[in-house]
Amino acid sequence: QSALTQPASVSGSPGQSITISCTGTSSDVGGYNYVSWYQQHPGKAPKLMIYEVSNRPSGVSNRFSGSKSGNTASLTISGLQAEDEADYYCSSYTSSSTSVVFGGGTKLTVL
Amino acid sequence: EVQLVESGGGLVQPGRSLRLSCAASGFTFDDYAMHWVRQAPGKGLEWVSGISWNSGSIGYADSVKGRFTISRDNAKNSLYLQMNSLRAEDTALYYCAKDDTYNWNDGGFDYWGQGTLVTVSS
């Protein structure tokens, strides 16, 4: 199964907002509200930031928000902070292979 | 506190087998689906397999279908991954992850272990 498409890198200055896109197809992102986003710092396990497109788990800052339009999901981080610098991955259920697929990951750099 | 502790990784020759285990604690294990996710050195995340709360529904990535088998023992609060016919491309850190629902195909992975490293090499 093909990975979801994410930009390899994005960057922003402290206090700014950035958006990371995650593009799939009607068999995954566009067809189901089962998109999740994960943050991974170097050498650490991933952390769930958003589930079911736009829901935030308890304890995750409200600076993180998720949305979806058609076959593209997005993660927006507002009020960028230095600790937001990490790799971000999206995932979705896909009916094309009855499995879960991840995006290739996006490295966020806080300038 | 939710804890997921993986074990069973190591160095194995191509074509051989390995069985990973994940010991879960801090939550009602049989209420939730569970997953295995791997990450090759320096690479991104790859979902490997998921299993529903009662083992009634299971999914696999195409890359491991027919070679890997996921299972769980709710009485022991444990998740397993039997890996057969291992290949060099299976070399990765294998994470055990808890789903936030009872089905494997509709939730997010809300807790992760620290991973166990599998190296396939002659």
Of the pLDDT bands very low, low, confident and very high (cuts 50, 70, 90), residue B18 is very high
Q: A46 and B50 in contact by Cβ < 8 A?
A: no
Candidates A38, A39, A40, A48, partner chain B, best to mutate (most B CBs within 10 A): A48
Query: Long-range CB contacts (< 8 A, 24+ apart) of A92-95?
Result: A92/A4, A92/A22, A92/A24, A92/A28, A92/A29, A92/A32, A92/A34, A92/A35, A92/A36, A93/A28, A93/A32, A93/A34, A93/B105, A93/B106, A94/A1, A94/A24, A94/A27, A94/A28, A95/A27, A95/A28, A95/A31, A95/A32
The beta-carbon neighbor of B106 closest among A45, A48, A93 is: A93
pLDDT in tens, A18-50: 999 999 999 999 999 999 999 999 999 999 999
Tokens linked to B104 = 């494997």
- For residue B73, the distance in angstroms to the closest alpha carbon of chain A comes to 22
Q: How many helices (H) and strands (E) does chain B have?
A: 0, 11
Candidates A99, A102, A106, A107, partner chain B, best to mutate (most B CBs within 10 A): A99
The residue written with tokens 């230095």 in the block is A82
Q: B47 and A100 in contact by Cβ < 8 A?
A: yes
pLDDT at B107: 79
The beta-carbon neighbor of B105 closest among A3, A50, A100 is: A100
Poorest-confidence range of A45-54, B31-40, B105-114?
B105-114
Helix (H) or strand (E) holding B36: strand B34-39
Of the pLDDT bands very low, low, confident and very high (cuts 50, 70, 90), residue B5 is very high
The residue written with tokens 């009634």 in the block is B56
Using a CB-CB cut-off of 8 Å, the residues of chain B touching A8 are none
Residue type, B96: C
